[in-house]
Structure 1
Amino acid sequence: MLYFLPEPPEYAPPPRAVRVPAKLSVRVFPEVIAMSHPYELAPTRPLSFERERGITEVRFQGGLAHVEVRLPGRDVEAERLVLLQAVAEAGLPVLLIKLHPGSVSFALPDAAIAERAERLLLGRGYIYAMERDLALISICAGAMRDLSGVMAGLYDTMDKAGIRVAQTGDSHDALFALISGTNAEHSARLLRQTFGLPEGGTSC
């Protein structure tokens, strides 16, 4: 008797694993125009993130005060920290902070805050000198740190006009000068002339 063995089934390799990304990255184009193919995207218009170069405006704000607080001098670094922490805990906004060898100075944005600061300093027994009725001049630029000669132009203009600069400071888009409030409008006008700006203009 003959026996026929069944033919073995054709070998089929196991299915290959397919990695499915957990998150697809989708590019969003700001502008799509008429397309010749449903999956064809038109080239986008280039976007510019470059800021306007050069000085754009000179502004002033009045009513500020400036105070310099003398430190006891036993441990200056620790004493600076104690003073600044006391100012922060009292909720006093300050600007143009400068650390001197034996003192700390800063500006106060208005008369009411200056009164509060004076009460704090008196209550803690600090020796200080406060100057009131000042103005903050702001020289604005889109990229101030890329410019040169701005501080020199400021001091040259103020020196020729006989105007004392009590304090200066800077940020990424502005340079600041603290001067007497009675000279604020005149100083702003002179600085606009120095930097070739028209009267008025845009804000900082």
Structure 2
Amino acid sequence: MINFAEDVHNQINPRAKDLLMSCGEVISSVIITQALKARGYDGTPLTGAQAGIVTDDNFGDTRIKEINNQRVKEIMEENKIPVVAGFQGISNDGEITTLGRGGSDTTACALGAALHAEMVEIYTDVEGVMTADPKVVPNAKTLKHVTYTEACELAYQGARVIHPRAAELAKRERVPVIIRSTFSDAEGTVISHAFKQDEIEIKGDKIITGVTSRNNLALVKVFPHNKQEKATALGCFRVMADAGISVDFINVRSDFISFMIRDEQAGEAEELLIEDGYHYNILNNFVKVSVVGAGMTGFPGVMARVVEALSEAGVSIYQTTDSHTMISCLVEEKEQSEALCALHDYFELGN
């Protein structure tokens, strides 16, 4: 439908695009309600606006500001099932908005928090959060439990099972989430607080929970206007910020600075750098490979093990960054699979 609208006229403004994109979830909510009724359950379909989901007005990637759950609660008190269209809300000005990629996850977690739910269940095409992408690492396995922090890190670093914003919301509101498969009865993965080791079966103390990667990234190198004024390149951070371009994997050196941005923003970034007179390079053949685990907090030598694992596999590391629960390495895109498999095997995540 977006293509059809753009064929009629090649520009569609963000407000109109959100209005169009919200239709699919509304249709789905009606069909799901009909399916429930066919099985003897009374349901009521609701748009995001009707469910009281209030957002800002950043069309295409809006954020939830508040939820007025009165309408949903009234439907539940009537012993009916509210079926809410995910991915959407309404601004204070009455405009229909959409939450961006993974918006239905975010809707579910936000409603769960607003209703003080015991659990939010998210159904997807895999059986839960896995130690790695099974399409890349054949012996990847499903995790029974991950902490909120681990889920957030895995999501931000490329795992696509739950959207980062949904994971952060669940963490902030302390709403347990279970990731399950639409196509099987597998138990899935519980995302919640830190847990006691005797609550689930654990073979040894794993310092790493999973490995993941982010591609579709561009590596930007910016050089100073002149060698005598080395700090002049730093001004590009303000240029990116003013344009709403998020930067990651920052490296500041005397001869250049570098950072990662989403590949789709590379063209805009290049125009801004040209406009401000910066000397730059933009490369598209790198990926960010990460190991994530709450067990690495305070555990010495994890970076050394990561470097050793990649070196033994012949994978070159161009840059690293880390936090209490994550270590990321910049590697060439052609070595992405080798890097993930090497780290997964080295930390024995398939055992």
The question of a shared fold, defined as TM-score above 0.5 by the shorter chain, is answered with: yes
User: What's the counterpart of residue 187 of structure 1?
Assistant: 339
Q: Against the structure 1 CA distance between its residues 75 and 150, is the aligned structure 2 distance closer, same or farther, given a 3 Å change threshold?
A: same
> Match for 1:150 among 281, 302, 311?
302
1:103 counterpart residue number? 256
Task: Work out the CA distance in 1 between the residues paired with 2:319 and 2:196.
Answer: 28
Do structure 1's residue 71 and structure 2's residue 224 form an aligned pair?
A: yes
Structure 1 partner of 2:240:
87
- Residue 75 of structure 1 deviates from its aligned partner by 3.8
Mapped to 2, the partners of 1:171 and 1:114 lie a distance apart of 26
Paired position in structure 1 for 2:210: 57
Contact 2:234-2:257 within 8 A present in 1 as well: no
Q: Distance in 2 between matches of 1:196 and 1:143?
A: 14
Q: Which has the higher contact order (CA 8 A, sep 6+)?
A: 1
Q: In structure 1, what is the Cα distance between the partners aligned to 2:340 and 2:265? A: 25
Q: Give the corresponding residue for 2:321.
A: 169
1:166 is matched by which residue type in structure 2?
Answer: Y
How far does residue 122 in structure 1 lie from its aligned partner after superposition?
1.8
Distance 1:127 1:80, change over 3 A: closer
Work out whether 1:112 is the aligned partner of 2:264: yes
Determine the C-alpha separation between the residues in 1 that align with 2:250 and 2:196.
Answer: 28
- Identity percentage of aligned residues: 27
Mapped partners of 2:251, 2:243: distance in 1: 19
Question: Equivalents in 2 of 1:49, 1:60: separation in Å?
Answer: 24
Whose radius of gyration is greater, 1 or 2? 1
How far apart are the structure 1 equivalents of 2:281 and 2:269?
12
- Aligned residue identity for 2:324: H
Partner Cα distance (2:334, 2:234) in 1: 34
**Aligned partners of 2:328 and 2:322: how far apart in 1?**
6
Aligned-residue Cα RMSD (Å) equals 2.3
Could you tell me which runs of 5 or more consecutive residues in structure 2 were left unpaired when the two chains were aligned: 1-192, 198-205
Distance 2:274 2:319 in 1: 23
1:14-37 Cα distance to aligned partner (Å, 9 max, x none): xxxxxxxxxxxxxxxxxxxxxxxx
**1:22-37 mapped onto 2 (5 Å cutoff):** none
Q: Whose helix proportion is higher, 1 or 2?
A: 2
Per-residue deviation at 1:76?
3.4
Q: Deviations over 1:25-84 (max 9, x none)?
A: xxxxxxxxxxxxxxxxxxxxxxx857886111111121111122111244434x254221
1:181 and 1:81 mapped to 2: Cα distance? 27
SS of structure 2 residue aligned to 1:128? strand
Distance change >3 Å, CA 186–CA 169, structure 1 → 2: same
Q: Report the Cα distance in structure 1 between the residues aligned to 2:295 and 2:305, rounded to whole angstroms.
A: 17
CA contact (8 A) 1:70 1:126 kept: yes
Which amino acid letter does the alignment assign opposite residue 329 of structure 2?
A: A
Q: Which runs of 4+ in 1 moved over 3 A?
A: 48-53, 73-77
CA contact (8 A) 1:144 1:175 kept: no
Question: Which residue identity lines up with residue 310 of structure 2 in the other structure?
Answer: M
1:6-17, aligned counterparts within 5 Å?
none
Q: Are 2:300 and 1:137 aligned?
A: no
Question: Within 2, Cα distance between the matches of 1:144 and 1:107?
Answer: 25
3-state DSSP class of the match of 1:165? coil
Work out the number of aligned pairs and report it.
Answer: 150
Q: What is the alpha-carbon distance in structure 1 between the residues aligned to residue 223 and residue 234 of structure 2?
A: 13
Q: Do the aligned residues in 1 keep the contact of 2:320 with 2:328 (CA within 8 Å)?
A: yes
Q: Aligned partners of 1:132 and 1:167: how far apart in 2?
A: 15
